[in-house]
Structure 1
């Protein structure tokens, strides 16, 4: 499947590239001086990452810039946002979601342009593919933090979360994890405390989006039982949710960010 990118506007941007993302993501769309979309292709899923700073710069030139990515329903939705920061975050998430859907694996079972795809939130705020209708509907998850918007698509329930590592997270330590969870994170990361706390936060957010989107609570609903290092900068977390249910989460360190994702079989 060919990824059809809108080209009716000048897409060049002066935002510098972040080399920290190149070790994990690949497959840049367009050149180094244009809007960059990075991809991570896994077993049955795709994660796409968009630079919000680039999107914000492009939007500031012309209110119509980049809107070829949106369907008519989405254009009405983005018009509700009063602040450029929020609209650029929302748009970055939709661009990432559509890029992941169009990346390959026949997620949409046909050829579509981004403007023919509609992704809006359901009653729980989960991003859902509203159009086109597919016999086998792909699932979506979207996140943004700091400079980046990210989206994941697969044919399973899924959750993705990106969190910028910041020192102020230390004030939330007691809310994010138990003493045992914080100790486990410290034992495998060897970095400052905020790295371990951000790892726990991103992992629990991903599980919430994947498995607990219709239930209250975030940090207490997921119990992390084990963390092991898969390779430098990459960890696997074994979690217990909803009593005896189990969920595995992948987490990777990307410069000043933690990216977490997980998926489970979708029960229609």
Structure 2
């Protein structure tokens, strides 16, 4: 139900030694989570703070309720994994209610703790799509995105991808089915950059440009963001993989030091 998938990214980008120890990534199977909670409602007292439990109980629609819950649990587990590998702190699941996922005024998630459970609170990012929730934690502002690969992505491609980017995609995804995967990778990558950004307003999809893709076991996408011609472009590396029927992307905003 809850698993550490940090090694999945590490295995796909073995040569990226500077990634080691900088993040942790967790996943939650939302359908299994819902099944467990419906059988043992007391689990909410383990995973959620009092304030989080109140929010959970206010949701009307089960789908939205358990997506929200899955994202919170994934983010907490990622934070625990990250802190454990950096500071050698061990946290049991019975203590998770002491960690709270809150939102700032721009609806970005961040961690709060009602105890000294985690001496260092990392940055977090959350994503969910069709039964899967992910949580990313890092000492840097970070972004994660997961998307189920569907035909729907082709109907909105003009909103987030330029003709030049699509031409570059064809080098890696030549046929129609694979083009759909490529479009999903770009969408996920740009979403991850938006989540990792500390700017307001956030970058628009078409303000973020794909300039190069490096094929490894996954795809390292090299992207630039510039709001206008007078602004210096910022460079972003996004690590993306095809993950079952999904695309997964993560990035660390290393312009902000730990």
Name the TM-score class by shorter chain: 0.7 to 0.9
8 Å CA contact 1:101, 1:108 repeated in 2? no
User: Which residue of 1 is the match for residue 108 of structure 2?
Assistant: 126
Larger relative contact order (Cα-Cα within 8 Å, sequence gap ≥ 6): 2
**Partners of 1:215 and 1:153 in 2: how far apart?**
23
Q: Which runs of 5+ in 1 are unaligned?
A: 1-34
**Partners of 2:136 and 2:45 in 1: how far apart?**
21
1:105 correspondence with 2:96: no
Shift of 1:221: 2.4
More helix by share: 2
Tell which deviates more after alignment, 81-90 or 39-48. Answer: 39-48
- Aligned residue pairs, count: 232
Match of 1:137 among 121, 126, 144: 121
User: Which residue of 1 is the match for residue 148 of structure 2?
Assistant: 164
User: Which residue of 2 is the match for residue 16 of structure 1?
Assistant: none
User: Which residue of 2 is the match for residue 56 of structure 1?
Assistant: 34
Q: Give the alignment's TM-score, normalised by structure 1.
A: 0.79
Shift of 1:211: 1.5
Report Cα offsets for 1:10-32 as digits up to 9, x if no partner.
Answer: xxxxxxxxxxxxxxxxxxxxxxx
Shift of 1:156: 0.5
**Partners of 2:164 and 2:32 in 1: how far apart?**
40
Q: What RMSD over aligned residues (CA atoms) do the two structures have, in Å?
A: 2.2
Shift of 1:118: 0.9
User: Which residue of 1 is the match for residue 222 of structure 2?
Assistant: 238
8 Å CA contact 1:237, 1:249 repeated in 2? yes
1:86 correspondence with 2:64: yes
Shift of 1:64: 3.8
User: Which residue of 2 is the match for residue 229 of structure 1?
Assistant: 215
Q: Give the alignment's TM-score, normalised by structure 2.
A: 0.82
Report Cα offsets for 1:132-154 as digits up to 9, x if no partner.
Answer: 56664310000000120001001
8 Å CA contact 2:79, 2:121 repeated in 1? no
8 Å CA contact 2:4, 2:78 repeated in 1? no
8 Å CA contact 1:38, 1:50 repeated in 2? no
User: Which residue of 1 is the match for residue 245 of structure 2?
Assistant: 256
User: Which residue of 2 is the match for residue 197 of structure 1?
Assistant: 183
Tell which deviates more after alignment, 52-61 or 131-140. Answer: 131-140
